[in-house]
Amino acid sequence: MTFDQVEIQLIAAVAAAACALPGAFLVLRRMAMMSDAISHTVLLGIVVAFFIVEDLNSPLLITGATLTGVLTVSLVELLNRTHLVREDAAIGLVFPALFSIAVILISRYAGDVHLDTDAVLLGELALAPFERFRPFGVDIGPVSLYVMGGILLLNLLFIAVFYKELKLSTFDAGLAAALGFSPGLIHYALMTLVSVTAVGAFDTVGSILVVALMIAPPVSAYLLTDSLPRLLGLSVLIGVASAIAGYWLAHFLDASISGAMATTAGLIFLVVLLFAPERGLVALARRRTRQRWEFAQAALAIHLYNHEDSPEAVLENRVDHLSHHLRWTPEFAVRVVQMAEQRGLIRRKNGHLALTDAGRRTAQTMLAAT
Amino acid sequence: MTIDFTLRTVALGTAVLGIVSGALGSFAVLRRQSLLGDAMSHAALPGIVLAFLLTRSRTPIVLLIGAILAGWVAALLMGVVVRYTRIKQDSALGLVLSVFFGFGLMLLTFVQRIPDAGQAGLNRYLFGQAATLLEQDIVTMAVLGGIALALMVLFWKELKLLSFDASFGASLGFPMRALDTLLITLIVVAIGVGLQAVGVVLMSAMIVAPAAAARQWTNRLGVMVALAALFGAVSGVGGVLISSSGGGFATGPTIVLVASGLVFLSLLLAPNRGLLARWLQRQRSRRRLRVTAVLSDLYTLAQQHDDPEHAHDIAVLRTMSAGSGGVGHTLETLAERGLVRQSRPGHWTLTQAGRIEAERIARGEEE
């Protein structure tokens, strides 16, 4: 590994961690698409701020971009409050419009500056180490590492200080308001955080990847845990893993790093979606199959219980009769009987089926439960 | 302005794109799936690149089929995620959108580094380049869009049910799941039709904006779909004309801005629902309320006085109105209608007609 490679991975990992933290709250608050909107519209803020200060490295650009992010949120809310369009449509109306204005401004007035839409949307992580941070002439690393590191710190600090408020307003906004916390204030603070993070990250990784890093790791983590601290930790972990794995994927394919990072984040999600211990699709399917067999065995036990000691018991309680009465296919009936026998719920007595004590108890509890 | 052949072709193309996305977008907006278009259009990118990688062809129809297939896979995946896990729609959208787009981007840069791939032109699907539309592209767009619109008309009743009361439709025995898939497929086709001109990034706006504008003017689905198609076409042609006038107005963003402008005007000016209409209505009802209030106040005063003809000072009425304002103006309105008269400056009394009207109001028989 060259030194550049280490630095790129470091920047990517820090950016991923910084994005995952506010992203987790977006996912929990069902506002994931806000990250998409904000990451697009911050471009307008950058362009406008650039026209005012005419310096691409000015911190005013970040301020301007953050303000546009917050402006996007309030415009969406304003539009939503007219009740003329629904929230999803409001988002879908506001951000393309603001983004279009930014693109037109760039192509009209900033054609000769380094400010092209491709770079903004797609980012170029490979170039990040070339811009060095040199306070007092000493090279202490790439600028973007410090920018993202600062933003990560800010996010950590905010979540640490306002953890209780964030948690309460996320899971029970009504209670939060009743207790005197202002959900609106927390909401806007969070949105400011999302904006700052989007601005910082999209310079290095591009705006679409900002969305991928904000949404994909928390969504994966959401399938793995029910506790908020663990969700935050896992999101950061998965984000960092996607970043590093993505870097190497891009390295071997000689392709866009940010694209590859989004791809690995997606692959990790796919694995989690399939194999998550409790909420994964495989676990879900297995649980359903098990429940189906257990239910069938219980139905069998109840059937036998109902006819127990009655004159028709000899007739009813035969394997070939079950398919007729419980509407089972003969194969299914044979399987169920075998399983129930193995579990000691029933036993065979000269050609017909009889309940064991355990089977009788099963039937009784099932019937009592209804 | 002279409209040359190229410009006419491009304008025709964007008109087709506007009509198709406007009409089909109406259903997405009504079903609160406005952002589905956003996800689907981003998801189309890997499809386009993969189609190119597999066939090495840049024919629009091949790339379009790739785009449509990818959009379809994305929609399917989203459906699975939302149905079988606790992940909500918005997260699923953001996930699919960013991951598919990132994947497409990775493929695109990968393809670009293959020597002699002849891939030039795939880039234009990112931001769209309407100026590169050729006549055969327009034919492809028109045929595909026409098929999508024909299917929409064919399944009109079913799609209407799906949009307004899906569970009722299910209870009638319609296969709502299949219809949902059909609608998503149609929307994906509409997006595919527009990709070359507007690009994956801004295509979502063409699904949402014309439909959202049209929604303001009508409560009827048929009218809304037709209006949305019209708004879409106007945005497309308008955007092309503005950008062709030079000055660095990129076509895609200009089309989107025209569409956004139409939305803004519709929100403002639409009858009944529009902000202006609602404001006027509020003013009207406030005025009516004030008229009733002043008339009732005068009636109360008259009843408390021996002489029903006794004129009351406007200051008393002002006090009774508790500072709601406009008492003088309201009295003049009442005088015009012959319900009150001014016996001497600043003193008012009910007329015969006014007393009858006030009694009617007191009995609760509002006009």
Candidate from A32, A223, A265 with C-beta closest to B93: A32
Q: A254 and A324: one domain?
A: no
A273/B110: higher pLDDT: A273
Is the domain of A248 the same as that of A291? Answer: no
**How many angstroms separate the CA of residue B110 from the nearest CA in chain A?**
5
In angstroms, how far is CA A68 from the centroid of its own chain? Answer: 25
Residues A177 and A119 in one domain: yes
- Percent of chain B predicted with pLDDT > 70: 95
ipTM surpasses cut 0.85: yes
Q: What per-residue confidence (pLDDT) applies to A98?
A: 93
Contacts with A, B 269-308, CB within 8 Å: 273-275
Instruction: Give the nearest partner residue to A32 out of B90, B126, B247, using CB atoms.
Output: B90
Q: What is the C-alpha separation between A294 and A300, in angstroms, rounded?
A: 10
What are the strands of the beta sheet with B340-344, ordered from one edge?
A: B312-313, B347-350, B340-344
Averaged pLDDT, B121-138: 78
Of A289, A285, A290, A262, which is closest to residue A273 (Cα–Cα)?
A: A285
| pLDDT at residue A72, rounded to an integer | 94
| Helices A183-205 and A32-53, packing angle to 10 deg | 70
**Summary mean pLDDT of chain B:** 87
Same domain, residue pair A225 and A354: no
For residue range A331-365, list pLDDT tens digits in order: 888 888 888 888 888 888 777 788 888 888 888 88
Task: Note whether A181 and A294 are same-domain residues.
Answer: no
Look at residue B64 and tell me whether its pLDDT is greater than 90. Answer: no
pLDDT value of residue A120? 62
| Helix pair A257-275, A228-253: axis angle to 10 deg | 130
The pLDDT value recorded for residue A356 is: 87
* H or E element at residue B54: helix B34-55
Q: Do both A58 and A24 map to the same domain?
A: yes
* Phi, psi for B342 (deg, rounded to 5): -100, 115
Asked if A59 and A72 sit in the same domain, the reply is yes
Q: Is A345 helix (H, G, I), strand (E, B) or coil?
A: coil
Contact criterion met (CB < 8 Å) for A208 and B102: yes
B257:A103 CB<8 A: no
pTM, two decimals, is 0.86
Q: Quick one: A293 and A327 in the same domain? A: yes
Task: Tell me if A266 and B103 make a contact (CB, 8 A cut-off).
Answer: yes
Q: Are A26 and A129 members of one domain?
A: yes
Final residue of a domain: which of A223, A244, A277? A277
Q: What residues does CATH 1.10.10.10 cover in chain B?
A: 277-362
User: Has residue B121 got a pLDDT over 80?
Assistant: no
A134 dihedral zone (left: phi>0; alpha: psi -120 to 50; beta): beta
Residues A30 and A107 in one domain: yes
> Distance between CA atoms of B250 and B268, rounded to whole angstroms?
27
The nearest CA of chain A is from the CA of B367 a distance in Å of: 29
Within B155-175, residue ranges assigned H as helices are 156-164, 166-171
Question: Phi then psi for B312, rounded to 5 degrees?
Answer: -110, 145
The CATH number for A300's domain is: 1.10.10.10
Segments forming the whole domain that contains residue A112: 3-277
Q: Are residues A339 and A266 in the same domain?
A: no
Fold of the B277-362 domain: Arc Repressor Mutant, subunit A (1.10.10)
| CATH H superfamily, domain B5-272 | ABC transporter involved in vitamin B12 uptake, BtuC (1.10.3470.10)
* Chain B residues lying within 8 Å of A255, measured CB to CB: 106-107, 109-110, 113
**Would you tell me the crossing angle of helices A281-307 and A357-369 to the nearest 10 degrees?**
100
Number of domains in chain A: 2
The phi-psi region of residue B272 (left if phi > 0; otherwise alpha if psi is between -120 and 50; otherwise beta) is left
Report pLDDT for A264: 96
Q: What is the mean pLDDT of chain A?
A: 87
- Residue B60: predicted pLDDT: 79
pLDDT for position A219: 96
In angstroms, the first-to-last Cα distance of chain A is 66
pLDDT score, position A119 = 62
Domain of A156, CATH number, reads: 1.10.3470.10
pLDDT at A128 over 80: no
In this complex, which of A92, A255, A265 lies closest to B208 when CB atoms are compared? A92
Same domain, yes or no, for A215 and A353?
Answer: no
Among B49, B99, B208, most A C-beta atoms within 10 A, so best to mutate, is: B99
